[in-house]
């Protein structure tokens, strides 16, 4: 659940991605709200699973349910914006993801804390 993706895979990026399994809600440009699952995070972006395709090359508002790294029973709603870079059909789900946009300092600090934590579990 919390290991970096395999190097050399189709998902290979400049920086490691770390697998997570967090709930999130994405607001589409038309106001529709989708429940999605955060699959992986990195310093620069996020990968998620959605039941429906979302529009690429668009900035989406997402609220992620991120556990407190110091108290896993406490989950915080973390609002972020993601510039959607890809939408790919994967079995019965759509893999969607992209880069963080204007990541607020509190969100950046929390995500960096998770990346540090996950990087030590290798």
Residue 13 lies in a domain: no
Residue 53 lies in a domain: yes
Instruction: List phi, psi (to 5°) of 92.
Output: -105, 5
The total domain count for the chain is 1
Q: How far apart are CA 24 and CA 93, in angstroms?
A: 15
Taking only the tens place, the pLDDT of each residue in 5-29 is 444 444 555 789 999 999 999 999 8
The answer to whether 45 and 100 are in contact (CB under 8 A) is yes
- Secondary structure class of 115 (helix, strand, coil): helix
What is the extent of the structural domain holding 89? 18-119
Weakest-pLDDT range from 25-29, 49-53, 59-63, 88-92 = 88-92
pLDDT of amino acid 120: 85
The answer to whether 96 and 45 are in contact (CB under 8 A) is no
The answer to whether 66 and 113 are in contact (CB under 8 A) is no
């Amino acid at each position: 659940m919390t290991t970096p993706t395999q190097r050399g895979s189709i998902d290979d990026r400049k920086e490691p991605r770390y697998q997570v399994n967090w709930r999130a809600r994405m607001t589409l440009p038309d106001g529709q709200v989708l429940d999605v699952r955060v699959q992986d995070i990195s310093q620069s972006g996020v990968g998620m699973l959605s039941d429906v395709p979302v529009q690429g090359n668009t900035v989406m508002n997402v609220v992620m349910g991120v556990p407190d790294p110091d108290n896993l029973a406490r989950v915080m709603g973390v609002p972020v914006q993601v510039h959607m870079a890809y939408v790919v059909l994967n079995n019965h789900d759509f893999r969607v993801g992209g880069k963080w946009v204007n990541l607020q300092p509190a969100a950046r600090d929390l995500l960096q804390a998770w990346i540090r934590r996950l990087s030590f579990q290798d």
